[in-house]
Amino acid sequence: MRPINLPFQDLTAQMRELRSAIQAAVMRTLDSGCYINGPEVERFESRVARALGAQFAVGVSSGTDALLVALMALDVRPGDLVITSVYSFIAAAEVIVRLSAHPVFIDIERDTYNIDPASLARFLQEDPIRRSLVKAIVPVHLFGRCAPMDQIVRVADRYEIPVVEDVAQAFGAVGQSSIPGIAKCAGTMGRLGCFSFYPTKNLGAMGDGGMVVTDDADLARRCRQLRNHGAEAKGQHTIVGGNFRLDEIQAAILNVKLDHVEAWNVERRRIATAYDAGLRIEGLMLPRGAPTQADAEPQGRAIANHVYNQYVVAVERDRDGLAGHLAKEGIGTAIYYPTPLNRQPCLINASGITRQATNTDPAGTDATSAHFPQAEWAAAHTLGLPIYPGLTEAQQQRVIASVRRYFGRGPATSA
């Protein structure tokens, strides 16, 4: 087998592009002697708030801590229910359990992998007592495509439940808000938006980092307090918080990268377009991009932007066969996510999950069996292909040719 020489992820291209600016930013910070909550963090917060169209932005230590701080700010307590997608990275479910609340999992839409708004609405409608325990809804903008926020926020508003967006994979994505015809940046359509700056994200630090954004002054103040041991003023700890601070060096690097994220997102979309064109093959389901005109509001305005943190295909038959074939040809792939969250051992054992919202188990009593057919299908069939700024056209064509070979197809032009 060839070694992988076209990796699934490659962060060195960004470093090559920005080496001198990043070196200067890091050295400036090191020389400043100010390493925590200094001018770089403040500048990064105000620039992100402006870029996204949010009133407030609070830098924190990671995307996971952004979710934790957001739920703490909403006063999620033991025994509360918090709804989230069953098919995602574990972070949201994990912080719910850490607060001794119960994650309620909702299945996904087959074609976008995002939480299914119809199942969400059904769960909330069914049982008023159970609904009264729901403290928040955490949709995830999976792979860089906005969850259907218009529908999610409308149903949440009906029952006055706050929505906390998990925007870890979707910095710069735009979606249809709950106001008809109005598109907004991911993270600004719910009550709070939680970002991750993990290195592989669309805007990635060179270490860990995260952010909470909101238009609510009171929640912003609480998030600031929570990230710094609950201190209202030095030595005055009025609530229990933690150390969830974004460090100055990461903020300095992120300030450099922020100028480039839009161009990188365009590049990701260009790669996705090339894959879309080259990979129209029976038996291979391509990711659904931004909504088509048919999905758009009557004005026909483009209302969404997928930012392709991942380009995830679904293979009808033998996903692992395709992954093995690509590996043999030196191409890296990844599976997001092989196990839906309802079957993650730590969530079943540690959380005492007793309430699940599913089509086949509306009473929500069975935590373990496969009541999430779409998530189970995705877990068994999806495969992420390489997509990142710096992936050359030749590399893209190599991925396309290799996938086509697996399906016994010739070059894309003769398709």
Binding site for ligand PLP (CB under 6 A): 62-64, 88-89, 91, 140, 166, 168-169, 196, 198, 208, 210
Nearer Cβ to ligand PLP (274/385)? 385
**Residue 124 DSSP SS3:** helix
The distance of closest approach from Cβ of residue 386 to ligand PLP in the complex, given in angstroms and rounded to an integer, is 17
6 Ramachandran zone, left/alpha/beta (phi>0; psi -120 to 50): beta
The distance of closest approach from Cβ of residue 90 to ligand PLP in the complex, given in angstroms and rounded to an integer, is 8
**Residue 341 DSSP SS3:** helix
> In sequence order, which residues have a C-beta less than 8 Å from that of residue 52 and are 6 or more positions away?
185, 187, 188, 193, 213
| Angle between helical axes of 12-32 and 39-52 (0-180°, round to 10) | 130
The distance of closest approach from Cβ of residue 204 to ligand PLP in the complex, given in angstroms and rounded to an integer, is 9
Instruction: Provide the β-strand partners of residue 59.
Output: 211
Tell me the two tokens of residue 96.
């719910």
Nearer Cβ to ligand PLP (164/357)? 164
Cβ(255)–Cβ(47) under 8 Å?
Answer: yes
CA distances (Å), 121 to each of 71, 127, 365, 390, in order? 21, 11, 18, 41
Cβ(224)–Cβ(239) under 8 Å?
Answer: no
Nearer Cβ to ligand PLP (56/336)? 336
Instruction: Provide the β-strand partners of residue 36.
Output: 247
Report the Cα–Cα distance between both ends of the chain, in Å, rounded: 28
Nearer Cβ to ligand PLP (123/336)? 336
What is the rounded CA–CA span in Å between residue 359 and residue 25?
52
Query: In 53-116, where does DSSP find H-type helix?
Result: 63-73, 91-98
What is the rounded CA–CA span in Å between residue 22 and residue 396?
28
Tell me the two tokens of residue 330.
């030196």
DSSP state of 160: T
- Residue nearest ligand PLP (C-beta atom): 63
The distance of closest approach from Cβ of residue 126 to ligand PLP in the complex, given in angstroms and rounded to an integer, is 27
Nearer Cβ to ligand PLP (172/210)? 210
Nearer Cβ to ligand PLP (194/322)? 194
The distance of closest approach from Cβ of residue 262 to ligand PLP in the complex, given in angstroms and rounded to an integer, is 21
The distance of closest approach from Cβ of residue 348 to ligand PLP in the complex, given in angstroms and rounded to an integer, is 20
**Residue 215 DSSP SS3:** coil
What is the rounded CA–CA span in Å between residue 312 and residue 317?
15
Nearest to 12 by CA among 390, 310, 268: 390
The distance of closest approach from Cβ of residue 353 to ligand PLP in the complex, given in angstroms and rounded to an integer, is 19
The distance of closest approach from Cβ of residue 143 to ligand PLP in the complex, given in angstroms and rounded to an integer, is 9
Nearer Cβ to ligand PLP (124/168)? 168
Cβ(54)–Cβ(188) under 8 Å?
Answer: yes
CB atoms within 10 A of CB 360: 12
